[in-house]
Amino acid sequence: MSSLPIVPIAPPASTVPLPPQDATDRSPRFPSARHARRVLCLLPLLLIGVWAADNWRVLHDGARQLTTADPGWLAIGGAFTLLCWISAAFARQGAIPERLPPGLLLASQFAAGAANNVLPAGLGAHAVTLRFLTGRGIPLARATASLALYSLVKPVAKLLVILVLLATFPTSLGATDLLPDGGTLLPIGVGVAAAVAAVTLLLTLVRPLRRPLLDGLRTALTDARRLHTRPARVLALWGGAAGFSLCQAAVLASVGASLGLPIAWPDVLFAYLAASAAVGAVPAPAGIGPVDAALVFTLAALGAPLSLAAATVVGFRVLTVWLPLLPGALVLSVLVRNKVL
């Protein structure tokens, strides 16, 4: 009798031994990432607390000065502060070809304002915006190019606003004596020429930096040309940049009006624009310090009592920096927690 072939029967699926799980599947990087994200959520609040503890005297004096101010004008100043973030969001959208979600973009700029008050030279705002753009799928090179375009347009737009003010109020502006003369412009020109020469020398001698920098410059020029062929982007970029400077100046004028500052609005607007343009490049968080000193000096030179000029600048900082500081830090933490940043 012939024997039948024996066919192996597979065991039930439940009894099939599973391959050993790769140890890398349970890599400690996942809990580490969660812990890092929690730290990033709390870091803005910690930095704000340290900053507030270091500047508690200024906070106290500013709050005391505002108790005597006209609440109606302070409310107008608060409205202009809100318009500052809206203007910044418009300018950021104008600096990138892709359409960004408006709500998240505005929230990111509100959070960027809090980060900008902690890190100098606008690094905080740029870091938040860069993370927001890359999180929307924009390549790093193009996101960096948009930051460079935004940083270039802001001072140029501020200069154009100053020129428009001088042309609109040629006789009423008493601040024309505050404009820099040839002796002041010469060191600025020398500094700009030295910076250009240093960058050129760096590109010539350090070859590893040459290609990424040139690629970034090429990307920036390409995006700038594309954006300036689209009227909506041009209006958002230049209008937002000019509107941001004007709204900041309007906050200062509103606080001055609430305290009875004896200076006309065009003069106060010009004082802010001139002072911030003159010392705004000093690497201080949100320009706090050098810009404040320049504002007090400028307002006093226009005829305001020194104590009232100082109170106006303190009130300006309360509305634009200190009051939005904690809410901005909370929004920043929420965006980090929800992986928007």
Helix (H) or strand (E) holding 47: helix 29-54
Question: How does the average pLDDT of the chain come out, rounded?
Answer: 76
Please state the φ and ψ torsions of residue 270, each to the nearest 5 degrees: -65, -40
pLDDT of residue 17: 52
Does the pLDDT at position 289 exceed 70?
Answer: no
Lowest mean pLDDT among 15-29, 238-252, 281-295: 15-29
User: pTM score > 0.75 for this model?
Assistant: no
CA–CA gap between residue 22 and residue 137 (Å, rounded)? 31
Q: How far is CA 7 from CA 10, 12, 57, 72, 254, in A?
A: 10, 15, 88, 92, 92
Average pLDDT (212-237) is 82
CA–CA gap between residue 149 and residue 190 (Å, rounded)? 23
Does the pLDDT at position 126 exceed 90?
Answer: no
Does the pLDDT at position 21 exceed 80?
Answer: no
- 15 by Cβ neighbours in 10 Å (0-12 / 13-18 / 19+) ranks as exposed
More confident residue, 43 or 24: 43
pLDDT band at 27 (very low <50, low <70, confident <90, very high): very low
Does the pLDDT at position 88 exceed 90?
Answer: yes
* Structure confidence by residue, pLDDT tens digits, 150-196: 988 998 999 899 888 888 877 655 544 555 555 445 555 665 666 66
pLDDT band at 244 (very low <50, low <70, confident <90, very high): very high
Kindly list the domain boundaries of the chain, sorted by start residue.
Answer: 38-337
Q: Take residue 70 and report the two structure tokens written for it.
A: 């006209």
Does the pLDDT at position 6 exceed 90?
Answer: no
pLDDT of residue 256: 92
Residue-by-residue DSSP string for 48-116: HHHHHHHTHHHHHHHHHHHTTS-HHHHHHHHHHHHHHHHHHHHHHHHTSSSPPPHHHHHHHHHHHHHHH
Average pLDDT (242-263) is 93
pLDDT band at 61 (very low <50, low <70, confident <90, very high): low
CA–CA gap between residue 139 and residue 158 (Å, rounded)? 29
Q: Take residue 257 and report the two structure tokens written for it.
A: 């009006």
Average pLDDT (242-271) is 92
Q: How far is CA 268 from CA 72, 163, 170, 244, in A?
A: 19, 15, 15, 16
More confident residue, 87 or 11: 87
Lowest mean pLDDT among 39-53, 241-255, 264-278, 327-341: 39-53
Does the pLDDT at position 1 exceed 70?
Answer: no
CB 244 within 8 A of CB 276: no
Closest CA to 141 of 215, 74, 205, 207: 215
pLDDT band at 223 (very low <50, low <70, confident <90, very high): confident
* Structure confidence by residue, pLDDT tens digits, 198-213: 767 766 766 666 666 6
User: What's the residue count for the chain?
Assistant: 341
